[in-house]
Amino acid sequence: MILSMTAEYALRAMAEIAARGPEPVRARDLSQTAGVPAAYLPKILRRLAAAGLLASEKGHGGGFRLTRGAAKITFGEVLRAVDVDLEHGGCVFGWGACDSRLPCLLHPAWAELKTQLSHWARESTLAHATSGAAAVKHFQRAWRHAAAKGPAPAEGRR
């Protein structure tokens, strides 16, 4: 796995919040729909809020929402908020700082992959994650999952 579980969870949570639109999303709901452990999600959400990517609203109807439009938040910003640095990542062999002067055996291939990942993180936004066929399939799967668990609590119960 190239990204840590924390990074994956952060991307999942942010994409889910972006897909929900401007209304705040409760952490409990987010945990279920994004598949992030409920005990770990608050830590991730605090880091995303500290980075200025999320706003937290307390009280009835509260939750988390994006501070900017989904098209203005890149995957790279989300990853940096949870301390992932694709530009300066370590050696795939664990040698620390291998480079073109002192490369490990996998350095050329790893450097190319890191370049491609960095480009993906800089150019892809949460809007990319929430548009098109992938978003439709995601919501269909989420609705099937929710239907299998039974009816949602009555409106107003949070």
Q: Which of 59, 54, 56, 60 is nearest to 13 (CA)?
A: 54
Per-residue pLDDT reduced to its tens digit, 105-122: 888 888 888 888 889 899
Residue 82 lies in a domain: yes
Q: Could you tell me if residue 158 is inside a domain?
A: no
Q: Is residue 123 domain-resident? A: yes
Judge whether 141 lies within some domain. yes
Determine how β-strand 54-57 pairs with β-strand 63-66. Answer: antiparallel
For residue 155, is it within any domain? no
* Domains identified in the chain, total number: 1
Identify the domain containing residue 39 by its residue range.
5-149
- pLDDT at 152 (0 to 100): 43
pLDDT at 1: 54
Are the beta carbons of 32 and 20 closer than 8 angstroms?
no
Q: Looking at this protein, which amino acid is placed at residue 19?
A: A
Considering the domain boundaries, does residue 50 fall inside one? yes
Residue 91 confidence (pLDDT) above 70: yes
Task: Report yes or no on 68 lying in a domain.
Answer: yes
pLDDT at residue number 150: 53
pLDDT score for 71: 95
CATH (domain of 63):
1.10.10.10
Report d(CA 116, CA 124) in Å as an integer.
12
- Asked whether residue 157 is assigned to any structural domain, the reply reads no
